[in-house]
């Protein structure tokens, strides 16, 4: 019994340890900033072909007679298609089904439904590559015994190319939108993290009853086919890392607010040099950037003397610059961090881009 208690205690300790690990893991993970945009591209083309679903349904007293009758009718339809010059590879059986038919007992009757016959169906997919012959083809199918024309879709022989064109338009618009939004937010657009696509084309399938076609043949007006592509793109966002040509004033050093006077500022130029006023003296030096990593130095200054509070502030400003390891820029705000990731200085841009 004691051994079981010890084993249970060890098991619970392991479970609690796993719970602690799972709950604690996300705390050190920084959420990546992302931007998701949607773009749509539309192209138009005149259809030059059609996809037709033609069906024949037959009935029989038993399954064999229903299927035999259906096979004969389907064979007549396929022969008619062959006579019209439709290539064998453009005729494909889409579905064949056989189902029993039941009588319907009177309401309230306890009789069970009885099988009174069978219904067989055969659906054939036909590709019509000469759109001008579509009307005659539909008339011929009805005369050959087709009982329903389940779907007619007008399309283009260059559909794949048209879809690529629509997709390129959609992607371009999504990219342009992402650039505008990131610029307005003062951040830089990073790499693409994910892309999903969706297509729509019209008009959709047109169902037609075979009897209606027999009574009044339908004229075919192809019009324009609309192909629409939509993309949803997620981009990574990076802090605006461009510093060259900008000027900044510190607003906080090691958590202590910095007054507007004396006027402290620093300027970054395009040659990796930095200069400005540290409160009492002018300073000058170099800086290097590598992604979000930054390093200052060496830094030199003039040797003017000022009141002690100004000199103390100057020393704090210059020594803090030398501690900087990384930075983040958000439009007109700049933050410097030490090697441990602590914020050591906050600055505001004096000459916004």
Asked if residue 197 has pLDDT above 50, the reply is yes
pLDDT category of residue 240 using cuts at 50, 70 and 90: low
Which pLDDT score, from 0 to 100, does residue 10 have? 43
Asked if residue 341 has pLDDT above 80, the reply is yes
Long-range contacts of 261-269 (CB under 8 A, 24+ apart): 262/306, 262/310, 262/313, 264/313, 264/314, 264/317, 265/350, 266/321, 266/347, 268/243, 268/244, 269/244, 269/245
Asked if residue 218 has pLDDT above 80, the reply is no
Residues 6 or more apart whose Cβ sits within 8 Å of residue 237: 33, 34, 35, 182, 185, 187, 188, 189, 190
Place of tokens 């324009």: 224
Q: What is the pLDDT of residues 111-134, one digit of tens each?
A: 888 899 999 999 999 999 988 888
Query: Would you say 207 and 149 are in contact if contact means Cβ atoms under 8 Å apart?
Result: yes
Highest mean pLDDT among 203-207, 279-283, 349-353: 279-283
Which pLDDT score, from 0 to 100, does residue 134 have? 87
Q: Which residue has the higher pLDDT, 313 or 17?
A: 313
Q: What is the pLDDT of residues 134-155, one digit of tens each?
A: 888 888 999 999 988 877 888 8
Asked if residue 254 has pLDDT above 60, the reply is yes
User: Which CATH number is 247-349 given?
Assistant: 2.40.128.270
SS3 of the chain: CHHHHHHHHHHHHHHHHHHHHHHHHHHHCCCCCEEEEEEEEEEEECCCEEEEEEEEEEEECCHHHHHHHHHHHHHHHHHHHHHCCCCHHHEEEEEEEEEEEECCCCCCCCCCCCEEEEEEEEEEEEEECCHHHHHHHHHHHHHCCCCEEEEEEEECCCHHHHHHHHHHHHHHHHHHHHHHHHHHHCEEEEEEEEEEEEEEEECCCCCEEHHHHHHCCCCCCCCCEEEEEEEEEEEEEEECCCCCCCEEEEEEECCEECCCCCCCEEEECCCCEEEEECCCCEEEEEEEEECCEEEEEEEEECCCCCCHHHHHHHHHHHHHHHHCCEEEEECCEEEEECCCCCEEEEEEECCCC
For 49-103+113-155, the fitting CATH number among 3.40.605.10, 3.30.70.2970, 3.40.50.150, 3.30.70.3270 is 3.30.70.2970
- pLDDT over 90 for what percent of the chain? 56
Write down the domain spans for the chain.
40-46+159-205+219-239, 49-103+113-155, 247-349
Which pLDDT score, from 0 to 100, does residue 217 have? 53
Which pLDDT score, from 0 to 100, does residue 22 have? 33
Comparing 64-73, 90-99, 322-331, which segment has the lowest mean pLDDT?
322-331
pLDDT category of residue 21 using cuts at 50, 70 and 90: very low
CA separation for the pair 271, 273 (Å, rounded):
6
Query: Would you say 122 and 56 are in contact if contact means Cβ atoms under 8 Å apart?
Result: yes
Q: What is the mean pLDDT of residues 162-182?
A: 94
Q: Which residue has the higher pLDDT, 14 or 279?
A: 279
Q: Which residue has the higher pLDDT, 29 or 195?
A: 195
Asked if residue 340 has pLDDT above 90, the reply is yes
Q: What is the pLDDT of residues 286-312, one digit of tens each?
A: 999 887 899 998 999 999 999 999 999
Q: Which CATH class is domain 40-46+159-205+219-239?
A: alpha beta
């Amino acid at each position: 019994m004691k051994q079981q208690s010890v084993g249970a205690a060890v098991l619970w300790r392991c479970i609690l340890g796993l719970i602690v690990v799972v709950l604690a893991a996300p705390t050190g993970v920084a959420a990546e900033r992302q931007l998701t945009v949607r773009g749509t591209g539309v192209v138009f083309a005149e259809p030059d072909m059609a996809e037709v679903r033609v069906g024949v349904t037959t009935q029989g007293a038993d399954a064999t007679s229903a299927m035999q009758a259906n096979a004969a009718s389907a064979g007549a339809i396929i022969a008619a298609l062959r006579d019209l010059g439709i290539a064998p590879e453009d005729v494909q059986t889409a579905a064949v089904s056989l189902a029993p038919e039941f009588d319907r007992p009177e309401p309230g009757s306890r009789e069970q439904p009885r099988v009174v016959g069978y219904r067989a169906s055969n659906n054939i997919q036909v590709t019509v590559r000469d759109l001008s012959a579509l009307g005659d083809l539909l008339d011929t199918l009805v005369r050959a015994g087709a009982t329903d024309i389940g779907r007619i879709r007008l399309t283009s022989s260059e559909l794949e190319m048209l879809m690529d064109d629509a997709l390129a338009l959609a992607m371009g618009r999504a990219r342009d939108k992402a650039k505008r939004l990131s610029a307005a937010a003062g951040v830089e657009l990073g790499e693409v993290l994910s892309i999903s696509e969706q297509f729509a084309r019209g008009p959709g399938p047109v169902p037609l009853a075979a009897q209606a076609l027999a009574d009044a043949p339908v004229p075919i007006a192809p019009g324009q086919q609309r192909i629409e592509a939509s993309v949803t793109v997620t981009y990574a966002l990076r802090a605006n890392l461009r510093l060259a040509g900008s000027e900044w004033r510190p607003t906080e050093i090691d958590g202590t607010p910095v007054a507007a006077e004396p006027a402290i500022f620093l300027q970054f130029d395009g040659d990796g040099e930095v200069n400005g006023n540290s409160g009492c003296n002018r300073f000058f030096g170099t800086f290097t950037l590598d992604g979000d990593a930054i390093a200052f130095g060496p830094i030199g200054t003039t040797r003017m003397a000022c009141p002690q509070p100004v000199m103390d502030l100057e020393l704090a400003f210059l020594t803090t610059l030398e501690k900087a390891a990384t930075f983040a820029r958000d439009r007109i705000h700049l933050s410097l961090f030490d090697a441990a990731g602590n914020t050591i200085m906050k600055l505001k841009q004096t000459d916004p881009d």
